[in-house]
Structure formats: structure tokens, C-alpha cells
Structure 1
Amino acid sequence: MATLRYTRLAFADLQGWADDNHQAALSAYRLTVDALEPHWPRPSEVGARRFFETAFTPVQITDDTEMLFTGYFEPEYDAVLSPSETHKYPAYAPPEDLDPSAPYLTRQEIDAGRLQGRGLELAWFDDPLDLYFLQVQGSGRIKILGGEVIRLGFAAKNGRPYTSLGKVMIARGYLDPKEVSPETIRRWFAENPEEGQALLWENESYVFFQKRDGVRPDEGPLGAMGQPVTAGRTIAVDPEACPLGAPVWIEKSGDAPINRLTVAQDIGSAIKGAQRADIFCGTGEDAGRPAGQIKDRGRMVVLMPHQMANALCEEH
């Protein structure tokens, strides 16, 4: 891992700090603060902004990687609980013989039916791309035909290497780099179903799911800390660089700039580096569109307990 550098800042250095909704950030922080070590401040009776300003020190953590913000969302798909002529693409629970430390069946082998008959199917989809995008996102809200809503969350992977579908399609000349999105991928697959299935198999990585009980339909999916994440206030970070549960001030540039206090409550396999964050944008298509458009520079500043900040800034 790259060497981390710690720079102490003041709240006056945070662009737009005074204009943020600190109460919204505090509500998100409350969801996971009980999982933190005792030296992390617990919310007090003072106002939200005063709580953060008196209990924390802003610290910018950097390494040799360039800052990048992206967005993620919780997809929402229709599915059924039993297979049919139209719904023939299952989401699987982890098989008992899966060894996380060793390569397992490939995506193509699983799609060929190697796991059938073992009672692992959780839901059945009518579009292989729905299942594929669910696996890419790692969790989703599933509307079962008939009215039931279930949550599927990441459970395990098959230990095979991940290959980006979008990058493969660009390399083959199927899509222009500036036009790659879930919508353009879906249009191409609708016109080229057989070739599209072969492209999916080039990504040998496969995600297995588990049902996430105890989450209300109006709540976000469970993050890495076991609590629902909050749209616009939760970010996924690299836990080797940024402590999970920490408040994080983000300053995102681009066409839709954001200056906002968030909380590091999630992780992602592609989120690596001290200045790397994935912003949770919400559930469904209305959240997916803006999430897919985020690819911006800026900076993130971690709010640390004073003693931790003093120790890290003095050491480095």
C-alpha cells in the first residue's frame, strides 16, 4: 500500500462548510457510531454543526493516487421466486463447496446449469443484464411480481478475475468511450443477444447473494457496517486509508459540484486509495442515472477525533 500522508486543516478551510445541512450528516453518523471504538465521539445535545466542530479535527489524507469521485446506487429490478419460460436467470446463494481462497466455477459454467438442483436460487430474472448489473452493484431491491419486496446483498464471489463489460465493448468497437452507460449497453444487447451473452462470459467473476432481512422498503441497502446507507450522505471508501464510520467532508468538482459532509459507511472492490470515494445516490433508475455520470476530481477530508488527528499528523 502507498505511504499515507496526513495534513491537519481547519473547518474554515472546507469550501462551503457553513452552508451544509449538518443535521443530515449527523443523522447518518448516528446509524453507525455504536460500531466505532469508544474514542470516536458520540453525538451530544449541542447543535449538529457545533458537535462536529468541537469533537473533530479535519485531516486530509493523501497518497500517490489521484483524487476520483464516482457514484453508485441500489438497482431495483422485477423478478419471480420460481423459474418460467421468461424468467430463467437465477441469482444464487453461495454453494456449500465454495472456497473463498480458491477459484470456483466460471460465470459460463454457472450459467450452463452447474448449480441447478441444489436449492440455491433466490430469485429469477427475465433479463441476464439485470442479474449482471445487480452483481456489479453488489446489492439490489427486488420487486417480486405480486407485491413482495426483498433485498439481495453481496455474500461471496467465485474467486475469478473481474473483466469490465464496458471496457471490452469499447475495445471491440461496439461502443464509443463517451457513450458507455447501462442504457447504451442494454440497447446493444437487445440488438445482439447471442454475441452479448458471449461477452458476459468473458467476465469470469460471479457474485453470490444473500437475503437482507430487517431493512424497511424505504431504507437504503445495508452498507459494510451492517446498517442502511443514506442517499447523498454515505460514501464507500478504502478502509485501509479512511476509517470506516468516520465523517468525511467531500468537495466534488464537475458539472454538478458537491460540498457536503458524508460518512464513510461502505466499501467497494474498485475503491482504492486515500483520495477515492464512491457516493451513494439512492435506489432505482432515478438514482442510477446521476450515479453513472459521476467521474469527477476534488478532495475529501476526514474528520478525526482530536487525539487520533494529533497522533497521525505528528507522526507524518
Structure 2
Amino acid sequence: MRPFSMLGDGILADDSLGHTEAFSAFRRSAAELLEGRYKPGSLGLDPIAYRAAAMAALASPNDITNADATAFFRTHFTVLNLRPESESPRKRGFVTGYYEPEVEAAAAPTNEYRTPLYRKPADLVKVDSVNRPPGMDESFRFARRLPSGLLEEYADRPAIERGALRGHGLEIAWLKSPVDAFFIHVQGSARLRMTDGTVKRVGYAAKTGHPFTAIGKVLVDSGELSLAEADMAGIRGWLERHPDRLRWLFDHNRSFIFFAEHSLIDERLGPVGAAKVPLTPLASIAVDRERATYGVPYLIDAPDLAIDGTPYRRIAVAQDTGSAIIGNARADIFLGSGDAAGDIAGRVRHAADFAVLVPRSLAAKLIQ
């Protein structure tokens, strides 16, 4: 069964959908769409079909009115309902939230700052169906290149955090808390407030390739927390109560993230996402890269998710991805930077209805 059905563009007339923020987010992806840098996923949302809208967005000022932004989306798109895949146990879509942490950091280790964030090692390389060695799990996208040229699995989190990369000069910065470092790995980016007063931004560069394991699920499955308690605040609280079991818990997630430094040009915007553009709070989402297409606007309606007292019903643009984001109607909403955004992000686990904004010519093909 095709996952799409027609909703029409009338729904876009609702002026409470965050049109202006969504337009700015879409406009940031417009040049990438025009240059053909985004590849289509299995849903068939062909980026070529979005080029006319991208050209119109670039020809418009970024600070247009809400009325003009509404007119832009109604002019260039119709709306298709997007259902979860037929084998999904969920009848509706599902959203979570993520953010950019802000933490104190030092350029060199001290007795106080002892936990490093690492940059990508030179011997970590991408693998695919062409160069993946026999026996390596197909889910691995990275591997270690040996001096001989052969490939093998890279060291995992337990090995790295016990010193596998020590002495290689890969440390970008040092943090006070291994808990903060772990959650930066989960979020994929951070603003580091350095001890010399400067601010450094780091973002995802690569990973070891090992599968991601949600430590909240580990705590639920082992009876340590209930499902309702296993949000970010609940996990942090458990770690504060059980510091002696930190290593046991973190070792369950073998995936380890490497970072790159990025310029902090506009403090209002988030880090650069996988779509190679800065993320816009509430108007950028992470999607399943195998199914979705970067630069495509979605309409997400999560009536039980209230942010600043308002149910989340907005247009948001696919501009990032994540290991845990799997499915047609699945998204991680970027909520901003800092502790306030983190407090919200940690509580977002809500059912939602998904739709995609599609040029009319493409819509006709998708619902045939």
C-alpha cells in the first residue's frame, strides 16, 4: 500500500503553522536543492521536483511576512498525508526532540576537566556495499583501515573510553562530566563555553559504525526505571544516584561519535545538520535518511505535545538525521540550544500525524 493520500493545500491557509520560520528553514536548503546535493529516499520525494520552489525561495527576502510565507507554501505545494509503513506497530507517526547542549569545556585536561570529545581519526573510513569486507554487518557505515589497506570494525565505546585512542592527539576539548559528554554524543552537537571565555561549536563528523542502543530502554528493560521515568531527566537522575554503575550503562551503547569544529555565526540558529545547513529551532527535523529526502517540508500535528503552552502543529523541514530515527512517519524535532531547550527535548515522545508538502506534479505521481 502506498503511504500517501491527498489532503490538498487548504490546510496550509492556517496561519498558525509557523510559516515564516519554515520558509527561512526551507530557504536555507534551497541552494543545496538547486545544486543537486540531496538524494531521494525510498519514499520517492524527488528533490528535482522541488527546484522551482527553491528558486522562488532564493528570489524572495528571508524576512518575509507570515502572509507572504503562507502564500509561498500554498503556491508551490499541495499536501499529502504520510502514513507509517504497513509493518509498523504504530498506527500514527511518532516524534521525539533533540537540542544543542551548552557545557563548560577546557582546551587541555586538568583534574576538573577529564573527559574528552574526539575529532575523527584518520584511519576511520566510510564503507558501503562495494568495499564492506565479508562478515561485517551491513548496518556498519564506517570501519578502520589497516596499514595493509584491509578494513575491520573500529574500536567501540567501551574500548575508546578505556583508552584506545589515548595519545593520538584527537582531543578537541575536555569536559567535566562523562554524563555531559555522553548526552552530547546522543544529541550530535554542542556549544562549548571554554575556560578562556570563547565559545566553540562542535558537530557530528563520523561514528565508529556500531549500532546505537538507547540507554533509557536498557534501564526500562532491566527494571531500573519505568517507561514514564526514562526521559532525559530521569536517566540523569538515575546516573546521579548510581555513579558506580555509569560505565555499565554507557557500555551498552557501543556506538561512539566523533566531532568537528564549526563556526558560531548566528547564535539564534542551531548547528549544521546532515543536510549541510544550520538548523532552525522548531522548524528543522531529523528524519530517516533511507526513506526521506533532505530539504522537503513536512506538516507535523502532535496535539498532545505542548511547547510554550501551544500544541505542536507546524511545518518543519527535513534537514538532519539520526540513528534512532527509523520509519516513514518518524521525526526528531530540533528544539534549540541550551538547558531550556534540553528540558523540553527530554520530554518529547509523542504520537503525531505526518504530511508532506509536495509540488503538484510530483503529488500526482505519488498517489497514482
Regarding TM over 0.5, the answer is yes
How far apart are the structure 1 equivalents of 2:223 and 2:117? 30
- 1:131–1:260 distance in 2 versus 1, CA, 3 Å: same
Query: Counterpart of 1:36 in structure 2: which amino acid?
Result: L
How far apart are the structure 1 equivalents of 2:255 and 2:167? 22
Q: Deviations over 1:65-84 (max 9, x none)?
A: 33111111111111111001
1:130 match: 180
How far apart are the structure 1 equivalents of 2:347 and 2:232? 11
How far apart are the structure 1 equivalents of 2:49 and 2:220? 48
- 1:69–1:261 distance in 2 versus 1, CA, 3 Å: same
Instruction: Report the secondary structure of 2:163's partner residue.
Output: coil
How far apart are the structure 2 equivalents of 1:152 and 1:272? 25
Percent identical across equivalent pairs?
36
How far apart are the structure 1 equivalents of 2:313 and 2:241? 41
Alignment partner of 1:178 is 2:228? yes
| Corresponding pairs, count | 311
1:194 to 229, 240, 244: 244
Moved more, 143-152 or 160-169: 160-169
How far apart are the structure 2 equivalents of 1:254 and 1:75? 25
Q: Is the 8 A contact 1:4 1:61 kept in 2?
A: no
Moved more, 194-203 or 36-45: 36-45
Query: Counterpart of 2:3 in structure 1: which amino acid?
Result: R
Instruction: Report the secondary structure of 1:79's partner residue.
Output: strand
Shift of 1:58: 0.9
Shift of 1:185: 2.5
Instruction: Report the secondary structure of 1:297's partner residue.
Output: strand
- 1:107–1:241 distance in 2 versus 1, CA, 3 Å: closer
Moved more, 74-83 or 40-49: 40-49
Aligned positions of 1:23-102 closer than 5 A: 23-37=20-34, 39-40=49-50, 41=53, 42-43=56-57, 47-62=68-83, 63-64=85-86, 65=88, 66=90, 67-99=93-125, 100-101=142-143, 102=152
Moved more, 61-70 or 118-127: 61-70
1:5 match: 3
Shift of 1:13: 4.5
How far apart are the structure 2 equivalents of 1:276 and 1:205? 21
Query: Counterpart of 2:79 in structure 1: which amino acid?
Result: P
2:199 to 149, 153, 162: 149
1:164 match: 214
Q: Is the 8 A contact 1:90 1:121 kept in 2?
A: yes
1:261 match: 315
Q: Deviations over 1:106-137 (max 9, x none)?
A: 21221122211111000111111111000011
Q: Deviations over 1:27-62 (max 9, x none)?
A: 121111111146421226592211111111111232
2:328 match: 274
- 1:165–1:208 distance in 2 versus 1, CA, 3 Å: same
Tell me the TM-score normalized by structure 1: 0.91
2:338 to 266, 280, 284: 284
For the aligned residue pairs, the C-alpha RMSD in angstroms reads 2.0
How far apart are the structure 1 equivalents of 2:158 and 2:333? 32
Shift of 1:4: 4.2
Q: Is the 8 A contact 2:305 2:312 kept in 1?
A: no
What are structure 1's unaligned runs of at least 5 residues? none
How far apart are the structure 2 equivalents of 1:97 and 1:21? 44
Query: Counterpart of 2:195 in structure 1: which amino acid?
Result: L
- 1:114–1:24 distance in 2 versus 1, CA, 3 Å: closer
